[in-house]
Amino acid sequence: MLLESIPAEQRTVLYNVSWDTFEALLRDTGEDRGSRFAYDCGTLEIMTPLFEHENPKSNFGNFIIALAEELDIELRSAGSTTLKRKLFAKGIEPDSCFYIQHEAAIRGRETLNLEIDPPPDLAVEIDITSSSVNKFNIYAALGVAELWRYDGEVVKFYQLLENQYIEIKFSMAFSLVSVDDINRFIQQSKTMGEIALLKSFRSWVRGKIG
């Protein structure tokens, strides 16, 4: 029997794309499109996520919301909002991102402008296939303090330090959570239903703080 391998993401890369063209594409395609953009100094990657990509994204979002709720920490979800700064000619649409430490600074905002607003405190990136742009450089230029990256097998946590990301063991936003903890639950997500997984995760968090 022949098994067809379906990639988790479909990627199209365009080169020599001006900033004005990038901005025009963002306007013309709108917020409801299924693809996500990453722009780095003239290189534009257009990524269309498929099921293998989107399901882990949902689990990460559930974990982060549950953590904030159980720890009584306010947050503001920014989803895949376009994060961009013309000064650095960089922009990206994360799988999800959150304001946690700076939640109060953007509370009540209906628009986001990183020229004057703080960047999200935590972004989640799922790259199961290789990206054609260096997303670490983009996030560093935008000033995102913490990055969780998942390659389909392993989750890694990163902290922005002196404009570079270093790998860390414990989350900055949720200090009681280690990367090993999240990896364990992400592995369980492959064999458990989402509701059962989330209940198990909440029970684990309560045990840590109880």
In this prediction, residue 130 carries a pLDDT of: 79
pLDDT surpasses 70 at 7: no
Q: What residues make up the domain containing 162?
A: 50-209
Report if residue 143 sits inside a domain: yes
pLDDT range class, residue 33, cuts 50, 70, 90: confident
Report if residue 159 sits inside a domain: yes
What 3 state SS string does the chain have? CCCCCCCCEEEEEECCCCHHHHHHHHHHHCCCCCCEEEEECCEEEEEEECHHHHHHHHHHHHHHHHHHHHHCCCCEECCCCCEEEHHHCEEECCCEEEECCCHHHHCCCCCCCCCCCCCCCEEEEECCCCCCCCHHHHHHHHCCCEEEEECCCCEEEEEEECCEEEEECECCCCCCCEHHHHHHHHHHCCCCCHHHHHHHHHHHHHHHHC
Among 6-20, 62-76, 134-148, 172-186, which stretch is predicted with the lowest mean pLDDT? 6-20
Report if residue 193 sits inside a domain: yes
Report if residue 15 sits inside a domain: no
Among 2-6, 134-138, 160-164, which stretch is predicted with the lowest mean pLDDT? 2-6
- Give the count of domains, the chain: 1
| Average pLDDT value for the chain | 92
Report if residue 196 sits inside a domain: yes
Report if residue 10 sits inside a domain: no
**1 or 65: whose pLDDT is higher?**
65
CATH of the domain at 166: 3.90.1570
Report if residue 148 sits inside a domain: yes
In this prediction, residue 165 carries a pLDDT of: 98
Q: How confident is the model over 126-142, as a mean pLDDT? A: 91
Residues 83-126 have pLDDT tens digits of 999 999 999 999 999 999 999 999 999 899 999 999 999 999 99
